[in-house]
Amino acid sequence: MTNFQTIGLTIAAILVAATFAAAAARAINRRAALVWIAVWIAAAAAIARPALTMTVAHFLGIGRGADLVFYCAILFMLIAFFYVYLRFKRLEREITTIVRHLALRDEEAAEAASAEKAR
């Protein structure tokens, strides 16, 4: 086992443990925890057995295992960016709704106060 494999597998094990801890503390939901654990296990498998990525790459018609890892990383980053974009748009809509509600509430309070003064 190379030094990189030792370091990489140790980091992967720490990340799996951290993901379990985050799920136990309810910092992330179970589905997200399962996805992250699958990512860490896949990374550990690729680190422990680099020939595995070559085999999968050749099966998919990709020349090298490193290219497969790179393509998968790009794909997952694009998916993550899209998910974050959707989340920001939803938060933006929610904030807009809250601000509108507060503005209407403040306007009603101002009208009530001016009506009270008029008496």
pLDDT mean over 8-34 = 95
pLDDT, residue 110, reads 86
Contacts of 26 (CB under 8 A, 6+ apart): none
pLDDT, tens digit, 9 for 90 and up, residues 75-116: 999 999 999 999 999 999 999 999 999 999 999 888 888 888
pLDDT mean over 25-29 = 93
pLDDT, residue 61, reads 95
- By C-alpha distance, which of 75, 36, 69, 70 is closest to 52? 69
Which pTM does this prediction carry?
0.70
Which backbone phi and psi does 61 adopt, to 5 degrees? 85, 20
Confidence band of 36 (pLDDT split at 50, 70, 90): very high
Burial of 12 (0-12, 13-18, 19+ CB in 10 A): buried
